[in-house]
A and B are shown apart, each in its own frame.
Chain A
């Protein structure tokens, strides 16, 4: 089954404690992206990757890092989480930049 898998689905952490949200897709998609979703703000892009070893900032990259060492994986790293990073995070992949996005089920992160 074609899918994008994120882990963890839910996480409560404390300020400053590094965390990683993993994302994996099995569709051989070139393009992967991370979004955060906050009430009234829609989906805002954090980082995206056009291919292996190619990553670029989205609209709200501050406080986040990503890597794309393999085509299927695109982890999101919060080196020192802060409460304003409490949000619902989605990983997505597509064949190309403007193609249909396939989303994971989301990771709800709370930073205390």
Chain B
């Protein structure tokens, strides 16, 4: 199973600040997904990136897939209290007998204070 290192593990910021969450691996992924999870609920997909170097925007959230498809980042501009939650990245293995299998990072707990 490929490893996905997600950082930071915890992030506590004030409303209006910018932040970046990183997801890194030494392995290549065929695609990478970002999920957001709120307390008492299951994770919900935010975005899937597939092509190396791809950038996707979802309102104030910007997702980037590394050129080599080994890493990804999530940048939030002008964070709001409603952004509070657990953010998870998940990479789909690119080859071998586990092709397509999703591996999750450890998650980043984001708290945005009013």
Name A residues whose Cβ lies closer than 8 Å to a Cβ of B. Answer: 4, 35, 40-45, 59, 90, 92, 96-98, 100-101, 103-106
Contact = CB atoms under 8 A, between A and B. Distances in A.
Given A40-B106, A106-B40, A100 B48 contact: yes
Interface of B: 1, 6, 9, 30-31, 33, 35, 40-45, 48, 88, 90, 92, 99-102, 104-107
Among A42, A44, A100, chain B packs the most CB atoms within 10 A around the CB of: A42
Among A42, A97, A98, A104, chain B packs the most CB atoms within 10 A around the CB of: A98
A interface, over-half SS: loop
Contacts of A97: 92, 99-102
Nearest to A38: B106
Among B9, B102, B106, chain A packs the most CB atoms within 10 A around the CB of: B102
A35 B35 CA distance: 15
A92 B41 CA distance: 12
Contact of A42 (B6, B33, B100): B6
